[in-house]
């Protein structure tokens, strides 16, 4: 893939040339819909001529379009499909500060799929999980906090970097009041851990997931089951952490053992604790924010990678809360 400029005039089109013509239908999309998406988003003109794309428009926008197309071409060349969400992700990544997510690739490889970061914060999150022992990921639903953490857990387990995966969340509010539910403990807890199961089954064959759960290599349990343990050689994820109390959070964090990785995810705008009870997630961020070894990543509506309407819903609720005088300190 090469880039050339038309000489002898200012703001001349940039020509991006691709090596393999067979990949271009997937890159451009049906009826060039991916090119149209980039044109509308960045205000550029894209004209495909054989194995070239002529990019014309404001200099900064041309640079972003070129970068986005290059990223998408690399994706197609690696055998991954390109959908509209991938095009939007490529543009977001192209617009990110180049030093935001370091030098390591923002890709997760698991037995069933390969995932790439779709936003700069996702890329920084992936790198933080690779390099830190305690990571907090905060932000609204749909930003990939839990999903990416589970995928990283599977990737590290398969690579032999950890011996087991422990996935937990406060089940049924902060008090974990499970007694009134029918069935044994697994039947009581499973509905609240469904998103975690879904991520596991997307990254590992179902028979492997079930076998690893049966032999204890993957453990999925309510938070109360962590008390009194030291978690060594493990990838440990605490999801929905906004619904922990400060006591529960301290109990969980002090389980960290040798050669382990802890990821804590949650949304401080979705606390289900009784009125007046401080969230353990908020308390932990306030307490640990100055410790260098702790990584704190903040996702926003920009990082929502579900249906585009989800981002608008998040924004509408934020505006509504501000209008009612409710402010969430996202610096926490």
Give pLDDT, residue 98: 57
- The pLDDT of residue 148 is 95
Q: How much is the pLDDT for 64? A: 93
Across-strand partners of 296? 136
Q: Is there a contact between 47 and 53 (Cβ–Cβ < 8 Å)?
A: yes
- Domains in the chain and their CATH numbers? 2-94 (3.30.1370.10), 107-323 (3.40.50.300)
pLDDT for the residue numbered 174:
39
Q: Is 256 left (phi over 0), alpha (psi -120 to 50) or beta?
A: beta
| Tens digit of each residue's pLDDT, the chain (332 residues) | 666 554 434 567 899 999 999 999 999 999 999 999 999 999 999 999 888 999 999 999 999 999 999 989 988 988 888 888 889 888 888 877 655 544 445 789 899 988 888 888 999 999 999 999 999 999 988 899 999 999 999 999 999 999 999 999 886 443 445 454 455 555 555 666 778 888 999 999 999 999 999 999 999 888 888 888 889 999 999 999 999 999 999 999 999 999 999 999 999 888 888 888 899 999 999 999 999 999 999 998 888 876 667 667 767 877 776 776 655 454 45
User: Burial level of 45, CB count in 10 A (0-12/13-18/19+)?
Assistant: middle
Sign of the dihedral defined by the CA atoms of residues 101, 103, 109, 113, in that order: positive
Check residue 70 and give its pLDDT: 92
Please work out, in degrees rounded to the nearest 5, the angle formed at the alpha carbon of residue 143 by the alpha carbons of 295 and 78.
95
Q: How many CA atoms lie within 13 A of 103 on its CB side?
A: 0
DSSP H/E element including 188 = helix 185-189
């Amino acid at each position: 893939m090469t880039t050339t400029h038309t000489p002898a005039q200012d703001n001349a089109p940039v020509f991006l040339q691709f090596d393999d013509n067979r990949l271009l239908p997937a890159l451009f999309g049906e009826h060039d819909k991916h090119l149209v998406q980039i044109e509308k988003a960045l205000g550029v003109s894209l004209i495909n001529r054989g194995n070239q794309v002529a990019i014309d428009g404001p200099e900064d926008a041309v640079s972003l379009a070129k970068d986005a197309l290059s990223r998408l071409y690399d994706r197609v060349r690696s055998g991954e499909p390109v959908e509209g969400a991938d095009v939007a992700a490529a543009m977001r990544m192209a617009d990110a500060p180049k030093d935001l997510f370091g030098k390591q690739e923002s890709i997760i490889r698991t037995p069933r799929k390969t995932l790439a970061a779709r936003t700069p914060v996702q890329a920084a999150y992936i790198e933080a999980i690779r390099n830190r022992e305690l990571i907090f990921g905060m932000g609204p639903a749909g930003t990939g906090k839990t999903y990416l953490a589970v995928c990283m857990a599977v990737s590290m387990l398969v690579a032999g970097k950890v011996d087991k995966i422990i996935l937990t969340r406060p089940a049924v509010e902060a008090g974990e009041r499970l007694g009134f539910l029918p069935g044994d403990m697994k039947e009581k807890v499973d509905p609240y851990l469904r998103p975690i199961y879904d991520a596991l089954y997307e990254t590992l064959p179902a028979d492997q997931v079930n076998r690893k759960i049966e032999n204890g290599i993957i453990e999925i349990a309510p938070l109360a089951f962590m008390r009194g343990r030291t978690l060594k050689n493990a990838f440990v994820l605490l999801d929905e952490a906004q619904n922990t109390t400060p006591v529960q959070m301290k109990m969980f964090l002090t389980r960290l053992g040798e050669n382990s990785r802890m990821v804590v995810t949650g949304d401080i705008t979705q606390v289900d604790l009784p009125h007046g009870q401080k969230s353990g997630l908020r308390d932990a961020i306030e307490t640990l924010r100055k410790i260098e070894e702790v990584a704190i990543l903040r996702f926003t509506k920009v990082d929502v990678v579900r249906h585009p309407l989800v981002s608008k819903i998040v924004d509408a609720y934020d505006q509504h809360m501000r209008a009612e005088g409710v402010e969430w300190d996202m610096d926490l």
